[in-house]
Amino acid sequence: MKERVPLISVKNICKSFGTVKACNNINLEIYEGEIHTLLGENGAGKSTLINILSGVYMADRGSITLMGEEIKLSSPKDSIKYGIGTIYQHFKLVDAMTARENIILGQKISFRKMRDVDLKIAELCSKYGIELELDKHVEDMSVGEKQNLEILKVLFRGAKVLILDEPTTVFTPQETEKLFNIMRKMKKAGCAVIFISHKMDEVMKISDRITVLRKGETVKTLIKNETNPKELTELMVGAAIDLSIKKVDAKIGRQILKISNLKVNDDDGTNVIKDISFSVREGEILGIAGIAGSGQRELCEAIAGVRGVKHGEIVFDGEHLEGKNPREFIKRGISLGFIPEDRLGMGLIGTMDMVDNLLLKSYQTEDGILINRKPLAKKALELVKKLDIKTPGINYPIKNLSGGNIQKILLGRELGLKPRLLIMAYPVRGLDITRVILFTI
Amino acid sequence: MDMVSFLSATVVAGTPLLYATLGEILTEKSGNLNLGVEGMMLIGAVAGFISAYTTGSPLFSIGMAMIAGAAGALVYTFLTVSLRANQVVTGLTLTIFGTGLSSFLGQKYVGQVVPDNVKNFFKPLNIPVLSNIPFLGKILFSHDILVYLSIIIAIALGIYLYRTSVGLNLRAVGENPSSADAASININLYKYINLMLGGAICGLGGAYLSLVYVPTWQENITSGRGWIAVALVIFASWNPYKAIIASYLFGGLDIIGFRLENAVISKYFLDMLPYLGTIVALTVFSAKKSRKNSPPKHLGLPYFREER
């Protein structure tokens, strides 16, 4: 295998954001017809590397070679020209346009040749087993459909290197399996696939080779069949850790939350929660399962007081919550923490720094007109240290941090208030193994 | 009141609004909110007037008005696109700058009249066959060349935006620049070209006032039409075809005061109508949300590729 010229190789790539070194001498070789997984913790530099390969970021130093020739990627345009197709973690689709319009975007195609376009798309669809309505608007699509559209976009441009940045995060197992089939077909067609995932079982299932990154550096490239999850995890973290999740025995106390005959509508006024009843006791973890869009979000938001309740009761420790908003919760000392799935939309404010974000939930309980930032600045520093949040400082706008670090801030704030009930929607999104373990302790 | 001549005058009064609205539609479709429409119109108006007064060439005057409008837009584009300055503030500044500059340059020309040969060039032209249609012929097809040009620009803009791949790319730039960028579209190039084109069209709207509609030079000749145009963009839901109807409707409101001189309603109330109409239109149309008439998603926001 070593004699072959790699399809794409990356040598000594470095990239810094301010004082944070996101990539520090990353090396990578990817061959035709392989699925190569990038594995690493938050801030290991995976997403940064992907963004460099797709021309979004410019590398500070280092070189990229395609089939033995050095190439310069100074914009996404260059990347596409060299046949590198990226499916970004956050989809790059225009919501107000149809699938077809999104596919032909940026290409010199006469509108009169639209029939040829349709034929080519149909051909790709049948070849890779993708189903898609071309006239559907992106804003009406499910996550799975959007993902399919992104893949079609890349295939349509004839990509040789396909990069998938955490494509399975919001997928059901069935959707993931479909995606894997497409990846296998691309591999057979002689493409190189770069896959990024946090899910160890998926990594072991689909990869041919695996490169582990840690703190912006390449640790090692391994062949899948010669390694195991335990070794990979140790390489990722840099130390041996216990992967098994231990369920802590806790004393089951009295009932703390009781929901009866709850009915909640979604944003469009459709009734998504239809008559749900359950109760939670102290010392209990209640899991809510279901495919994306089954009403989990609406249920969580209704309990947290940010969504109106159509019918039914939510009783928290003897107090009715329906019809009350989060502000009243805080005032009445209803100790309820909420980790929404959309961390920058509902959880935190991206342009504010850490201290201000911590303040959001506690300023109302302060006395006087002026806000005292000091105690919270101290708390922010504590959180940075305790949760190992990678940030240039506590006064740095949080939207510039990596997704995992943002999630840590949100978790830190909610847990720091010592809630009696904590609602979490996809709490480990963007978090890696060590973090998840840390929080279960 | 003669209905046909009233409607015909409505079209003329709506034409400067139509130019300005089309210019701003093109600008906003690129994702930039340029509140400098009034300023660009005034710069175009004064450049067009001075050119006509000194050279007597109608085509040269129109060209100068467009270049002047585009130059104003260029300053705005450089500040908001290349330097990523705040679009609202920069646009307002352009209006203030344009107002001041046009008063300053036009000082010597206040009360002067456009030369006769330029006036003659812009006199109403009849189109064979079309002008002979009863009612419609008189209302729509008995106007000066710039009225026809504005309708042609409106239709061309509609075809450009909705029927060409370049137009599709432009809409993507306004909706979601990071997606457009990832699809290998040169964001800054698109913005520079289309914002300057938009400015040129606004400048033409200003020149219509100083060369044809008034046609003498007076200070602040636009009297707020640039602002009405900004509202008309929303009223027309960013659609160039609807902009034609919207502009003529407001053109009608603009002149109704002159036409109803013997009416019982106060003249001051009638003069207020276009502005009142603007407020009503804005309130009603911004409350109604649908896919068809929602603004470009990235309107007013700067784009920086490496931002996380």
- Residue B157: what pLDDT? 97
A303 and A395 in a single domain? The answer is no
Residues of A in CB contact (< 8 Å) with B are: 17, 54, 56-58, 75-77, 80-81, 86, 88, 92-97, 101-102, 104-111, 137, 139, 153, 399-402
The CA distance from A296 to A417, in Å, is 24
Whether A438 shows a pLDDT value over 60: the answer reads no
Mark which residues 275-304 of B lie under 8 Å from A by CB: 291, 294, 296-297
- Residue B150: what pLDDT? 97
> What mean pLDDT comes out for the span A246-251?
71
Torsion of CA A182, A184, A190, A194, to 10 degrees: 80
Using 50, 70 and 90 to split pLDDT, how confident is the model at A363? confident
Task: Express each pLDDT in A40-77 by its tens digit.
Answer: 877 788 888 999 999 989 999 999 999 889 999 988 99
Would you say residue A2 lies in a domain?
no
Nearest CA to CA, how far is A115 from chain B (Å)?
14
For B306, nearest residue in chain A (alpha carbons): A57
Is the separation of the CB atoms in B143 and B18 below 8 Å? no
- Counting residues of chain A whose pLDDT is more than 90, the rounded percentage is 23
- Residue A292: what pLDDT? 67
Mark out the alpha helices in A369-432 (DSSP H runs): 374-387, 403-416
Residues of A in Cβ contact (< 8 Å) with B307 = 400
The CA distance from A287 to A274, in Å, is 18
Whether A105 shows a pLDDT value over 50: the answer reads yes
- Residue A440: what pLDDT? 36
CATH number of the domain to which B46 belongs: 1.10.3470
* Range with the poorest average pLDDT among A78-87, B82-91, B271-280: B271-280
The ipTM is 0.84
Give the residue with greater pLDDT, A93 vs A20: A93
Question: Closest partner residue to A106 among B180, B306, B307, by Cβ?
Answer: B180
A294 and A403 in a single domain? The answer is no
Is the separation of the CB atoms in A100 and A134 below 8 Å? yes
- Residue A326: what pLDDT? 85
Using 50, 70 and 90 to split pLDDT, how confident is the model at A434? very low
A310 and A352 in a single domain? The answer is no
Using 50, 70 and 90 to split pLDDT, how confident is the model at A441? very low
The CA distance from B249 to A255, in Å, is 65
The CA distance from A98 to A96, in Å, is 7
Q: Per the CB < 8 Å rule, is A111 touching B294?
A: no
Instruction: Give the total number of structural domains in chain B.
Output: 1
Q: For residue A12, give its domain range.
A: 8-237
Top-confidence range, A133-142, A169-178, A287-296, B284-293 = A133-142
Nearest CA to CA, how far is B306 from chain A (Å)?
6
Q: Per the CB < 8 Å rule, is A75 touching B180?
A: no
| Token pair in block for residue A361 | 């939930």
> What mean pLDDT comes out for the span B10-22?
97
- DSSP label of A199: -
A276 and A304 in a single domain? The answer is yes
Task: Express each pLDDT in B233-291 by its tens digit.
Answer: 988 989 999 999 999 999 998 888 777 766 677 878 888 888 888 888 778 776 666 66
CA nearest A223: which of A44, A45, A36? A36
The CA distance from A100 to A92, in Å, is 14
A218 and A253 in a single domain? The answer is no
A310 and A364 in a single domain? The answer is no
- Residue A20: what pLDDT? 78
Size of interface A-B (CB pairs under 8 A): 84
Whether A3 shows a pLDDT value over 70: the answer reads no
The CA distance from A311 to A322, in Å, is 9
Whether A435 shows a pLDDT value over 50: the answer reads no
Question: Closest partner residue to B181 among A76, A153, A401, by Cβ?
Answer: A76
Residues of A in Cβ contact (< 8 Å) with B297 = 95-96
A51 and A198 in a single domain? The answer is yes
A346 and A405 in a single domain? The answer is yes
> What mean pLDDT comes out for the span B213-224?
94
Whether A34 shows a pLDDT value over 60: the answer reads yes
Top-confidence range, A4-18, A291-305, A325-339, B77-91 = B77-91
For A351, nearest residue in chain B (alpha carbons): B308
Give the residue with greater pLDDT, A242 vs B254: B254
Whether B175 shows a pLDDT value over 50: the answer reads yes
Task: Express each pLDDT in A121-136 by its tens digit.
Answer: 999 999 888 888 999 9
Number of other residues whose CB lies within 10 A of the CB of residue A4 = 10
Positive/negative CA dihedral, B141, B144, B147, B152: positive
Instruction: Give the total number of structural domains in chain A.
Output: 3
- Residue A436: what pLDDT? 43
A104 and A204 in a single domain? The answer is yes
Q: What is the mean pLDDT of chain B?
A: 92
* Range with the poorest average pLDDT among A24-38, A365-379, B15-29, B70-84: A365-379
Would you say residue A218 lies in a domain?
yes
The CA distance from A261 to A274, in Å, is 8
Last residue of a domain, which of A237, A263, A289? A237
Which amino acid, one-letter code, is at A187? K
Alpha carbon B214 to its chain's center: 17
Question: Closest partner residue to B182 among A57, A92, A95, by Cβ?
Answer: A92
A323 and A344 in a single domain? The answer is no
Nearest CA to CA, how far is A206 from chain B (Å)?
27
Number of other residues whose CB lies within 10 A of the CB of residue A281 = 15
Is the separation of the CB atoms in B16 and B225 below 8 Å? yes
The CA distance from A207 to A193, in Å, is 9
The CA distance from A20 to B78, in Å, is 31
Top-confidence range, A175-184, B43-52, B129-138 = B43-52
A297 and A431 in a single domain? The answer is no
Task: Express each pLDDT in A343-360 by its tens digit.
Answer: 777 888 988 999 999 888
Query: Contacts from B78-83 at CB under 8 Å and sequence distance 24+?
Result: B80/B32, B80/B302, B81/B32, B81/B188, B81/B191, B81/B192, B81/B195, B81/B302, B82/B188
Burial B225-241 (b: 16+ CB within 10 A, else e): bbbbbbbbbbbbbbbbe
Would you say residue A1 lies in a domain?
no
- Residue A129: what pLDDT? 87
Burial class (CB in 10 A: 0-12, 13-18, 19+), A176: buried
Residues of A in Cβ contact (< 8 Å) with B181 = 56, 75-76
- Residue A411: what pLDDT? 86
Q: For residue B258, give its domain range.
A: 3-307
Using 50, 70 and 90 to split pLDDT, how confident is the model at B186? very high
Which amino acid, one-letter code, is at A401? L
CA nearest B228: which of B182, B303, B172, B279? B279
A154 and A200 in a single domain? The answer is yes
Nearest CA to CA, how far is A416 from chain B (Å)?
27
CA nearest B115: which of B198, B217, B14? B217
Residues of B in Cβ contact (< 8 Å) with A75 = 181, 184, 186, 305
Question: Closest partner residue to B180 among A95, A105, A110, by Cβ?
Answer: A105
Would you say residue A3 lies in a domain?
no
Residues of B in Cβ contact (< 8 Å) with A139 = 291
Would you say residue A133 lies in a domain?
yes
DSSP reduced 3-state for A182: helix
The CA distance from B150 to B212, in Å, is 13
CATH number of the domain to which A259 belongs: 3.40.50.300
Residues of B in Cβ contact (< 8 Å) with A96 = 171, 175, 291, 294, 296-297
Last residue of a domain, which of A334, A367, A387? A334
Element (H or E) spanning A288, and its range?
A: none
- Counting residues of chain B whose pLDDT is more than 70, the rounded percentage is 95
Q: Per the CB < 8 Å rule, is B175 touching A107?
A: no
For A139, nearest residue in chain B (alpha carbons): B291
pTM of the model: 0.81
Number of other residues whose CB lies within 10 A of the CB of residue A231 = 15
The CA distance from A213 to A323, in Å, is 48
Q: Per the CB < 8 Å rule, is A95 touching B186?
A: no
CA nearest A164: which of A187, A142, A141? A187
- Which of A89, A105, A267 to mutate to test binding with chain B, by most B CBs within 10 Å of its CB? A105
CA nearest B277: which of B199, B225, B238, B200? B225
Residues of A in Cβ contact (< 8 Å) with B165 = 104, 107-111
Whether A248 shows a pLDDT value over 80: the answer reads no
- Residue B209: what pLDDT? 97
- Residue B105: what pLDDT? 96
Nearest CA to CA, how far is B303 from chain A (Å)?
13
Nearest CA to CA, how far is A101 from chain B (Å)?
7
Q: B187-208 vs B225-235: helix axis angle to the nearest 10?
A: 120
Using 50, 70 and 90 to split pLDDT, how confident is the model at A245? low
Would you say residue A210 lies in a domain?
yes
The CA distance from B170 to A347, in Å, is 33
> What mean pLDDT comes out for the span A364-375?
80
